[in-house]
Amino acid sequence: MRLALATCALGLSLALVGCGNGYNSSPASLSGNWDANLQQASGTAAFSFSTTLTEVGGSILNGSNLTFNPPTSCFSSQITESGAVQFSGGGYGYYTGGGTTGMSLTINGLSTSGATDTLNMQGAANPDNSVSGTWTVNGVSPKCSGSGGFTMTRH
């Protein structure tokens, strides 16, 4: 009897392993039109912007049509936007059925004083089709420096 139970348990275990969890591990697509809201660590609003992101080859993130709402003196001209997408498989992620789609985005531009300011964002895709994470701005002016959290939503 014990041998039959052990054989049955082993067979059931192998069947469950063979079936998997029923999810496909694939990255979430970040291509599309996005609205971003950046909050200071204190919780006050820092920046808001709209942009169009395009994934290229599954790992490069290009940005275009960037508009700060309201306009900011930190990024007034010669603005560039680029980044990377990284998918880490495994785990039991909800958005992709296993794994996480990570994003890094860098925005460079000249402030009204002519100084170069850099906004770096690091985040991950969420189950509600948004992206959230942390950001830092490095600039000459105290107004153009800081850090905090952000949320990006498709529009």
The answer to whether residue 9 sits within a structural domain is no
Burial of 77 (0-12, 13-18, 19+ CB in 10 A): exposed
- The Cα–Cα gap between 33 and 42 comes to 28
Quick one: pLDDT at residue 99? 67
The answer on pLDDT for 10 being more than 50 is no
Q: Examine residue 84 and state whether it is found in any structural domain, yes or no.
A: yes
Domain that holds residue 94: 24-154
* Per-residue pLDDT, 57: 84
| Helices and strands (H, E) in the chain, number of each type | 1, 8
Cβ 107 vs Cβ 135: under 8 Å:
no
Which amino acid does the sequence have at 149? G
Q: Is residue 11 part of a domain?
A: no
Give domain status of residue 6, yes or no: no
Whether this model's pTM surpasses 0.85 = no
81-102 pLDDT tens trace: 999 988 776 443 434 445 678 8
Q: What is the mean pLDDT of residues 48-64?
A: 91
Mean pLDDT value across the chain? 80
Residue 53 has pLDDT above 50, yes or no: yes
Domain count, the chain: 1
Per-residue pLDDT at 143: 82
pLDDT tens, 108-126? 999 988 889 999 999 998 8
Residue range 131-136: mean pLDDT, rounded: 95
Residue 89 confidence (pLDDT): 60
Q: Specify the CATH number for the domain of residue 95.
A: 2.40.128.30
Average pLDDT of span 127-155: 91
| Between 89 and 54, the higher pLDDT residue | 54
In a domain, 18, yes or no: no
Of 61 and 3, the one with more pLDDT: 61
Is 116 inside any structural domain? yes
Residue 3 counted as domain residue: no
